[in-house]
Amino acid sequence: MKWNWEQPEWPTFNFSIDNEKEIEFIKQASLMTGAISVINRDSLKDIEIELISEEALKTSEIEGEYLDRKSIQSSIKKNFGIQTNEKIPEKERGVSNMMIFIYSNYKKKLSHSYLYELHKRVCGHDKNIRPGRYRSGNEPMQIVSGNIGHPKVHFEAPPSSNVKAEMDMYIQWFNDTSPNGKAPLPCLIRASIAHFYFESIHPFEDGNGRIGRALVKKIISEHTETPTLMSLSKVIFENQREYYLQFEKNNRTLNINRWINYFSDTILMAQKHTIKLIQFIVKKSEIRSHPELNKRQTMVLLRIFDEGLGGFKGGLSSENYIKISKTSRATATRDLQHLVELHILKKTGHLKSTRYTLQFLDDLNT
């Protein structure tokens, strides 16, 4: 059976619109906007840095690249004009710069030069490819698994000689379906098709997944009329097998309702996760200035927050507290009891199995 791009009707995709999902998207977008609108400027900057860095980390991890969170955050801070003296590795700087470019330039129309800029930012460090250009080699662009002797081809993209013409059509479609375009589409439909369509062409030698996911952020920003803070790649990474499975199930057909349903649900899940993360970061900011906490308590709590929404694996023990705060066992016991009384920590277990978790995380997950 032919690949999708080999079929006569390509690139005309067949699909139906689920208005209920679009309504849910709009509702959750309003919740996110409302949550952000009451945040002070310093806390908002913390949220921007946290969410952009998480997206940069996870979009790289999907491709098997495990980068340093602190370096990515330092790179983002520099882009925001915040002074930092840390030396930033090229990969961390590149993916951070791509995220910042999308965040700051979502209003610009898509063009070849726009895509080349994304590619240069995310792949400029790679000496084995030509950054800022579409692929041009004669070898087929294939997604394969298995050993060299018996590879399984999951997908083969259009030949390099077709890429420029394919991308001409893609860019035209992308701009025409925008909110102010000639043939606007609802946000979830447009984002789902845009990602699938881009990955089907696979126009670059490398970086296609990261750029394709970044374009989803651009689309959501265009529809919500604000730079998007969303943990899309976090949700995809946690369900990575399903992500690739859905690509494979849909790459030989132009009827992509199944893909759209899957990817729309992924965006909705990302919205929900982002709302929780915003609340999490706001709480972290409150801890820094809590009037009833001493320096030891603040230090330990911020260390727990550094672990993200999951907190310490298995919870915080008194031994952890002693090690982090460098205090005595008796002082640690008093500090922890005080945090429980303030309803900041929740205590579970007994004796050596006693553990402490952030109380408000239970509220977020209910």
Check residue 290 and give its pLDDT.
94
Distance of alpha carbon 275 from alpha carbon 51, whole angstroms = 11
Q: What is the pLDDT of residue 146?
A: 67
- How many beta carbons lie within 10 A of that of residue 74, not counting itself? 22
In this prediction, residue 315 carries a pLDDT of: 92
Whether 133 and 116 have beta carbons less than 8 Å apart is answered as yes
pLDDT in tens, 190-203: 999 999 999 999 99
Q: Which neighbouring-strand residues pair with 142?
A: 156
The rounded distance, in Å, linking the Cα atoms of 118 and 99 is: 9
Cβ neighbours for 349, distance < 8 A, ≥ 6 positions apart: 315, 355
Domain 291-364, architecture per CATH: Orthogonal Bundle (1.10)
Predicted local distance difference test score (pLDDT) of residue 296: 97
Both structure tokens of 247:
């690509």
Stated pTM of the model: 0.87
What are the residue ranges in the chain where pLDDT is below 70?
Answer: 145-149, 363-366
Q: What is the pLDDT of residue 305?
A: 87
Query: Regarding the domain delimited by 4-281, which CATH topology (the fold level of the hierarchy) does it fall under?
Result: Fic-like fold (1.10.3290)
Q: What is the pLDDT of residue 366?
A: 59
pLDDT at position 122: 95
- Per DSSP bridges, beta strands 142-145 and 152-156 are antiparallel
Question: Would you say 256 and 15 are in contact if contact means Cβ atoms under 8 Å apart?
Answer: yes
Q: Any idea where the domains of the chain sit in the sequence?
A: 4-281, 291-364
pLDDT at position 177 is: 98
